[in-house]
Each structure stands twice: as structure tokens, then as C-alpha cells.
């Protein structure tokens, strides 16, 4: 794992060990990066100052796709398991404290279905998630009633709130944005992608992986620029 300035300069190696990283998210205070691995189905935290890496919840298996709450106290994760009968896959969204305790289910899930890729709203009140095969839903941070945001000709995947919670970026046949109420869908690029998109702190750009590069594009689809070599990335939050 490496960190780099937004203009592509100042690359710094953060971890000595090589990880097969899937998704990674910077904590709101900038002190930790949460990431999952494609080979171990676990979530880890790396300290951005000391480079120390530790498992988030070593007693719990099949966790992935972490996202931080705005106050940094909890993380939302995907838990990949099996239905009560043990014969059908069942993925649900859970939350837990940043010390790995108090794991709580957030979505009901459905046998044979998958709830994936949680994204916390910046006001901390709701979470956005993708429900296979082709739906985007929201749920309150305490769980309960789930509300579908949209479903249509475009199959949305990997949704994420903009910093003002007014827009959602997602993957379809390219990188798309849509208003939080499901209207005004716009395709930013038809280019191939290799990672989930991430908003810049000011909401003006979207970062995503394309082939072996991290690329940023303006929210109107203009100004595509290569930042660094890599396949998965996340913006550092704006610090106080």
C-alpha cells in the first residue's frame, strides 16, 4: 500500500508486506486506512504514521468492503456467510466499532442474494449499499426499514455518496453519477475500470482504477488525469 499526493507527486510506501488489496478507505481523522484482501476475506487497519497493520476483527471471518462512519467510531462491512439452512449464500451489511467489537447486523439480506459495498452518508444518518442483482438501497444507521433508491436499464454497482450527500457515483457500463433521489443519471466515462470509485473531499472529482493506473475525472466527465500507478485507491479526507 502506498500514499501519493493528489497531483501524483510524493509517492510513499506505507506497508512493507504486499497485500492483494480489494477495497480501501481512509479514516476521517486520517490516522488509519481500512482495507480488505481478496485472498483472506478479512479487513485490516494500517496506521498511516507508524505503518503498523492489524486485523480489524480477528474473531470474525468473511468480512470485507469497509467504510468508515463520519465520526470514525464505527465501520460498515460486508459479511459473507450462509443462510440459516447453510446451503445458500447470504451477504449482509454489518457495523462494528473500530476496535473490532460490537458487531451488529444492519440489513436483513435474503437467501441467495447479496448485500454489498456499504457507503456511509456524510451526515452519518444513512448507509447506501448495493443489493444484487441490480438494485441500490439505503438503510438507517440503526437498521430497520430499507428503501430502494433506484433500478433501471443501468445495472448500478459500488455506489458511494458525494461529500454533500446530494449525488451518488456508481459503476455500470462505465462510471456514472446520479442524484440521491435517483434522477439525473450521467455517464462520466465509458472507459474500463478496476476498482470502486471514490469522491474527492471537495466533491469535484471522482477517483477510480483503470487498468494499472489511478485516474481522476471531474464530476461533469471532463478533465481526466492519471495520478499514479495502481488499481485501487481512496482520497484522504479533508482534515480539520
Q: Which residue shows C-alpha cell 479526507?
A: 237
Name which of 23-27, 60-64, 131-135, 198-202 the model is least confident about.
Answer: 131-135
Contact present, 225 and 210 (Cβ < 8 Å) = no
Q: Which pLDDT belongs to residue 208?
A: 87
By three-state DSSP, how is residue 11 classified?
A: coil
Output the CA torsion 195→229→50→53 (10° steps).
40
Across 159-174, average pLDDT? 87
Q: Give tens-digit pLDDT for 169-203.
A: 888 778 888 888 778 888 888 766 667 788 999 99
Cell numbers representing residue 36 in the block: 480488505
Q: Give tens-digit pLDDT for 20-36.
A: 787 889 999 999 999 98
What single DSSP character describes residue 231? S
Q: Which pLDDT belongs to residue 40?
A: 64
Q: Give tens-digit pLDDT for 84-126.
A: 555 566 789 999 999 999 999 999 877 667 898 899 998 999 9
Amino acid at each position: 500500500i502506498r500514499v501519493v499526493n493528489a497531483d501524483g507527486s510524493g509517492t510513499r510506501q506505507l506497508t512493507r508486506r504486499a497485500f492483494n488489496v480489494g477495497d480501501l478507505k481512509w479514516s476521517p481523522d486520517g490516522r488509519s486506512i481500512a482495507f480488505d484482501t481478496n485472498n483472506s476475506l478479512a479487513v485490516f487497519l494500517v496506521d498511516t504514521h507508524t505503518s503498523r497493520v492489524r486485523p480489524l476483527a480477528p474473531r470474525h471471518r468473511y468480512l470485507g468492503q469497509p467504510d468508515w462512519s463520519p465520526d470514525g467510531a464505527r465501520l460498515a462491512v460486508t459479511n459473507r456467510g450462509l443462510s440459516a439452512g447453510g446451503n445458500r449464500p447470504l451477504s449482509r451489511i454489518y457495523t462494528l466499532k473500530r476496535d473490532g467489537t460490537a458487531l451488529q447486523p444492519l440489513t436483513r439480506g435474503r437467501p441467495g442474494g447479496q448485500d454489498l459495498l456499504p457507503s456511509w452518508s456524510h451526515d452519518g444518518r444513512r448507509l447506501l449499499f448495493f443489493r444484487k442483482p441490480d438494485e441500490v438501497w439505503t438503510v438507517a444507521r440503526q437498521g430497520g426499514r430499507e428503501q430502494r433508491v433506484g433500478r433501471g436499464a443501468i445495472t448500478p454497482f459500488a455506489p458511494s455518496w458525494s461529500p454533500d450527500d446530494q449525488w451518488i457515483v456508481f459503476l455500470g457500463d462505465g462510471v456514472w453519477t446520479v442524484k440521491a433521489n435517483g434522477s439525473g443519471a450521467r455517464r462520466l466515462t465509458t472507459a474500463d475500470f478496476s476498482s470502486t470509485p471514490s469522491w474527492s473531499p471537495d466533491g469535484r472529482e471522482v477517483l477510480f482504477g483503470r487498468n494499472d493506473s489511478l485516474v481522476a475525472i471531474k464530476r461533469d466527465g471532463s478533465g481526466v488525469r492519471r495520478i499514479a500507478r495502481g488499481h485501487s485507491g481512496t482520497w484522504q479526507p479533508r482534515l480539520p
